[in-house]
Amino acid sequence: MLPLADTFQRKFYYLRLSITDVCNFRCTYCLPDGYKPNKERSAFLSVEEISRVAKAFGELGTSKIRLTGGEPSMRRDFTEIITAIHDQPAIKQIAMTTNGYRLAKEAANWRMAGLTSVNVSLDSLDARQFQQITGQNKFQEVMAGIDACFDAGFPTVKINVVLMKHLTQQLPTFLAWIKHRSIQLRFIELMETGEGSHYFNQHHLSGEQIRGQLLAMGWQRRASEPEAGPAQIFSHPDYQGEIGLIMPYDKHFCESCNRLRVSAIGQLHLCLFGENGITLRDLLQSDTQQTALQERIRINLIEKKQTHFLHQGMTGLARNLSYIGG
């Protein structure tokens, strides 16, 4: 079967699959008032439905699925979800993005079930500041969770850090932390979402600025693999860890887009900042619908735009990133 491609010859190896909107953290840039259940919203995808999503995308050339949310580990059936995706032979990499609060207990089980990599969101190495940002006093648990990943045999752990102005003071602490640890720090430029233009103007720190500082310190950019995400990766001979810079405002950001998204209720989103989701759920009800499902995905991909138009201040559906998973 021909692999998924859009009209700009971009190929889609990578699916970000949100499995819940629920989150127990209240990060200031994402869900400052905490998760509010929406009674009108449908139930989240079941394990069977998720398995059909994975099968359909796998046969269309997707080899990597990232489980996200909300907080994916809030799902009680999270281990079963990993197992169901692992059963799809085309999916070679199963990643998760997590706030890390269950890792200390579960990292080893999830790895055994087939999870291949973990991104932990950690915006500060200072316990007090961590609590101010996340609304949760769980810094020690998250740090123990990162250790648990290494103990469970994950060769590396990626740490997502949202770039905000206060980070300029914390940069040396973060760099010292990865000197002798196989951690990839991923600095994500703060994105303006529908809910937060005041916040954005107050806190946004340009990735260019950090890039300039890193280059001046001898960090060098290296090539990334085709299934890799949007990060520009930098390494340094004196550091075991690496740095990834994710700069959605960079004018070349969308050229290498290899990602599609499916929301927790089964809507296909062609872009994190796209307007409308395309319903897949009616075609996730039986194994006999796989061909129709794949056809719907393929046909709709023609509509994928060249860029996200964030520069023009369009934030689309992304009220905050907990809706379709950052």
Q: Which residues bind ligand SAM (CB under 6 A)?
A: 23, 29-30, 68-69, 71, 97-99, 121, 160, 162, 188, 190-191, 193, 321-322, 325-326
Q: How far is the CB of 175 from ligand SAM (least distance, A)?
A: 19
CB-nearer residue toward ligand SAM: 30 or 53: 30
Q: Under a CB-based contact definition with an 8 Å cutoff, are residues 60 and 82 in contact?
A: no
| Shortest distance in whole angstroms from residue 190 CB to ligand SAM | 5
Supply the minimum distance, in Å, between the C-beta of residue 87 and ligand SAM. 24
Structure tokens, 285: 């009800």
Q: Concatenated DSSP letters for 61-74?
A: T--EEEEESS-GGG
Report the nearest approach of ligand SAM to the CB of residue 265 (Å).
16
3-state percent breakdown (helix, strand, coil) of the chain, nearest 5: 35, 20, 50
Place of tokens 């005041």: 198
Contacts of 198 (CB under 8 A, 6+ apart): none
Residue number, 91 or 190, with CB nearest to ligand SAM: 190
Q: Per DSSP, which regions of 122-173 are E strands?
A: 157-163
Please work out, in degrees rounded to the nearest 5, the angle formed at the alpha carbon of residue 166 by the alpha carbons of 163 and 170: 85
The smaller minimum CB distance to ligand SAM, of residues 20 and 83, is found at 20
Pick 30 or 157: Cβ nearer ligand SAM: 30
CB of 193 to ligand SAM, least distance (A): 5
CB nearer to ligand SAM: pick between 49 and 192: 192
Q: Which is nearer to ligand SAM, 190 or 233 (CB)?
A: 190
Question: HEC states along 247-291?
Answer: CCCCCCHHHHCCEEEECCCCEEECCCCCCCCEECHHHCCCHHHHH
Question: Minimum distance from CB of 273 to ligand SAM (Å)?
Answer: 11
